[in-house]
Amino acid sequence: MTTVFGSVSVGDKLPPLGYDVTPTTVVLGALASRDWRPMHHDHKFATERNGVRDIFLNTPNQAAWFERYITDWTGPRGRIGRMRFRMHDSIFPGDRMMFSGDVVDTVIDETGQGWVSLDIQLTAADRPCTSCTARVALPSDPSDNPWSLRGDGWRP
Amino acid sequence: MTPAPIDLPDDLIALIGVPQYPVTADFPVERGYAWNTLAATENANPIYWDDTVADALTGGPTMPLATLSLWMRPHRWQPGAEAEQVALQVHFDLKARLGLPEAIMSDNTLIFHEPVRPGDVIRHHQVLRSVSGIKTTKLGTGRFWVIDVEYHNQRGEMVGVESYTGFGYQRPDETEEVAA
């Protein structure tokens, strides 16, 4: 699947994604991102030292989940330029993560590359956990390829 | 956030905007970390799994974009290390200097430039951008700070920039103990 720039409008919604988080989800993501901090694998440390209810999803793994969510929608030709996210509450084992997203802007830059801006919400049991904004380059047609942009031609 | 409140120690004010801890990663970029991250997030993007697709679209295998911070994270232990090695040393320096035992990250911004490829050797440095005045949140009382991390490959090309907002704090019970 390839999402092309001309097919996208402000107000479009990305397909939602749900995922049941387990302790393995948290630990696998932490170790994959070389994050050895104990609040991401040690229940006792998380509860007694950090004062939260369990180990929780670490920051770079949340970034990886947002990347997956975005490129599930764009297809492999979509290229993320930037992501910014704010973590309001933590994601714990037992939570069902829900990702939802909206297209909030479309723009063509000086090089002719089309970009979309996305607002993405990550919730757990209707609890707002993380809000993310992303700027993503989309192909102009199924044969176009934003990955070919280099140097000054790539304006993330 | 203004760069520095007036109640900040002078030695910390002097560090704002100054590149610190220039480091070359102690291991080259390796694909195993790509697959670990993809498996952890069940990410099936074919540019990371199918070399034919990767060759056609990106000119060869690349790493998942969100793995950028991997290359600033040292081995937890290695020969000769005298203590636990930590990523984002400026964050831990601030905790120690300001006497704030706990900390969390609240915001993360990632800007992606040239793709990171297996075999690359990534160097990076950290820049303290700002420190807030004293704030109280539901976690406790402390300060917010913003630290940028800039990443380059062995050809000198910028591959990405990260910006972290951290909150270092004392939990309410600790604050009461200190006050007492």
User: Which residues of chain B lie closer than 8 angstroms to A82, CB-CB?
Assistant: 109-112
Who wins on pLDDT, B35 or A51? B35
What integer is the mean pLDDT of A13-28?
A: 98
The residue among B156, B178, B45 whose CA lies nearest residue B100 is B178
Encode pLDDT of B11-59 as tens digits.
999 999 999 999 998 789 999 999 999 999 999 999 999 999 999 999 9
pLDDT score, position B3: 67
| pLDDT reported for residue B60 | 97
User: Which chain B residues have a beta carbon less than 8 Å from that of A51?
Assistant: 139, 171
| Residue ranges of domains in chain B | 10-179
pLDDT at res. B161: 97
Cβ within 8 Å, pair B111-A49: no
Query: Average pLDDT of A92-119?
Result: 98
Residue A70 reports pLDDT greater than 70: yes
Architecture of domain B10-179: Roll (3.10)
Specify the pLDDT at position B83.
79
Domain ranges of chain A: 5-146
Could you tell me the sign of the dihedral formed by the alpha carbons of B34, B35, B36, B42, in that order?
positive
Asked if B45's CB is within 8 angstroms of A76's CB, the reply is: yes
Task: Inform me whether the pLDDT recorded for B92 exceeds 50.
Answer: yes
Answer whether residue B131 shows pLDDT above 90: yes
Split at pLDDT 50, 70, 90, the class of B178 is: very low
- In chain A, the DSSP E strands lie at 13-20, 79-87, 96-108, 114-124, 127-138
Query: CB distance A60–B76 less than 8 Å?
Result: no
Contacts of A88 by beta carbon, 8 Å cutoff, 6+ apart: A128, A129, A130, A131
Q: Which of A64, A81, A86 sits opposite B40 (nearest CB)?
A: A64
What is the arithmetic mean of pLDDT over B102-127?
Answer: 95
The answer, for A13 touching chain B at a CB cutoff of 8 Å, is no
What pLDDT, on a 0 to 100 scale, did the predictor assign at position B177? 46
What is the nearest CA distance from B165 to chain A, expressed in angstroms?
9
Q: For residues A91 and A57, give the distance between their C-alpha atoms in angstroms, rounded to a whole number.
A: 6
Cβ-defined contact of B53 to A19 (cutoff 8 Å): no
Predicted local distance difference test score (pLDDT) of residue B180: 35
State the average pLDDT over residues A136-148: 96
Is A83 or B26 the better-scoring residue by pLDDT? A83
- What's the rounded Cα separation, in Å, for the pair B84 and A78? 39
Measuring CA to CA, how many Å separate A127 from each of A46, A72, B163?
Answer: 20, 23, 25
A5-146 belongs to CATH 3.40.50.300: no
For A9-20, how does the pLDDT look when each residue is reduced to its tens digit (9 = 90+)?
A: 999 999 999 999
pLDDT at B179 over 70: no
Q: Are A60 and A130 in contact (CB under 8 A)?
A: no
Q: Confidence band (pLDDT; 50, 70, 90) for B1?
A: low
Substitution target in A1, A20, A34, A50 with the highest count of B β-carbons within 10 Å is A34
CB B166 within 8 A of CB B87: no
In this prediction, residue B5 carries a pLDDT of: 73
Residue B12, min C-alpha distance to chain A (Å): 25
Mean of all residue pLDDT scores within chain B: 91
ipTM of the complex: 0.96
